[in-house]
A and B are shown apart, each in its own frame.
Chain A
């Protein structure tokens, strides 16, 4: 398996524009996570899905952020409108969640710069 695939790897956009980040989880995994990484706040959980259903979105900072998982092999994180403070590295991760925890595999991340 190619692992968790994120696109794009880098995104530079102007303030106010819509940004869509994409993620393809590892086949067979039933949990998907979106994290944001900054120097100040480290790795913050934004939202996670189990069996394509959002379970906890309490980490989504504002209504400008939304995430979807229309099927088991694809998820998007959208920011509309984007602001300079949204600049960060966004990671998608997936795992197989059962009665015990298993390893979460991370993608390479999308580095977002909002100017």
Chain B
């Protein structure tokens, strides 16, 4: 079965720290790798996404690093803030198929 493996399960950092969440995938046909952010009581919302033709994408304080040969990608949050406390999901798919999600990482940023 196609899987996306995500780690760590939970993460606690201090304000200003740089949490890093990692994901690994198996299916080399995947060509879209988004990260979703979910706050309690809400549905997941797209945070940032990357396609395999680039190795890094940055949007504000959020950066995706992508390693195609290793079949891994990661999310870095620069200068983390208490408002970034949420659950983060990596996902992957190929055109015409549904997103397959990792199991999520609960991030807590302490002030």
A115 interfacial contact with B, CB 8 Å: no
Residues of B within 8 A of A99 (CB): 95
Tell whether, in the assembled complex, residue A56 and residue B43 are in contact, meaning their CB atoms are under 8 Å apart. no
B44 interfacial contact with A, CB 8 Å: yes
Q: Which of the segments A11-19, A42-50, A62-70 contacts the partner chain? A: A42-50
Report the Cα distance A106→B94, complex, angstroms.
Answer: 19
Tell whether, in the assembled complex, residue A50 and residue B96 are in contact, meaning their CB atoms are under 8 Å apart. yes
Tell whether, in the assembled complex, residue A106 and residue B103 are in contact, meaning their CB atoms are under 8 Å apart. no
Report the Cα distance A108→B43, complex, angstroms.
Answer: 5
Tell whether, in the assembled complex, residue A43 and residue B95 are in contact, meaning their CB atoms are under 8 Å apart. no
Interface size on A, residues (CB 8 A): 25
Overall SS of chain B's interface: loop
Residues of B within 8 A of A45 (CB): 98-101
Report the Cα distance A108→B38, complex, angstroms.
Answer: 10
Report the Cα distance A14→B31, complex, angstroms.
Answer: 43
Residues of A within 8 A of B93 (CB): 101
Report the Cα distance A45→B44, complex, angstroms.
Answer: 14
Closest 4 CB pairs of A and B: A106-B43, A42-B103, A101-B32, A43-B101
Besides A45-B98, A101-B93, A109-B42, 5 other CB < 8 A contacts?
A35-B101, A42-B89, A101-B94, A108-B41, A108-B43
By a beta-carbon cutoff of 8 Å, the part of chain B in contact with chain A is 31-32, 34, 36, 41-46, 49, 89, 93-104
By a beta-carbon cutoff of 8 Å, the part of chain A in contact with chain B is 4, 31, 33, 35, 41-43, 45, 48, 50, 56, 91, 93, 97-101, 103-109
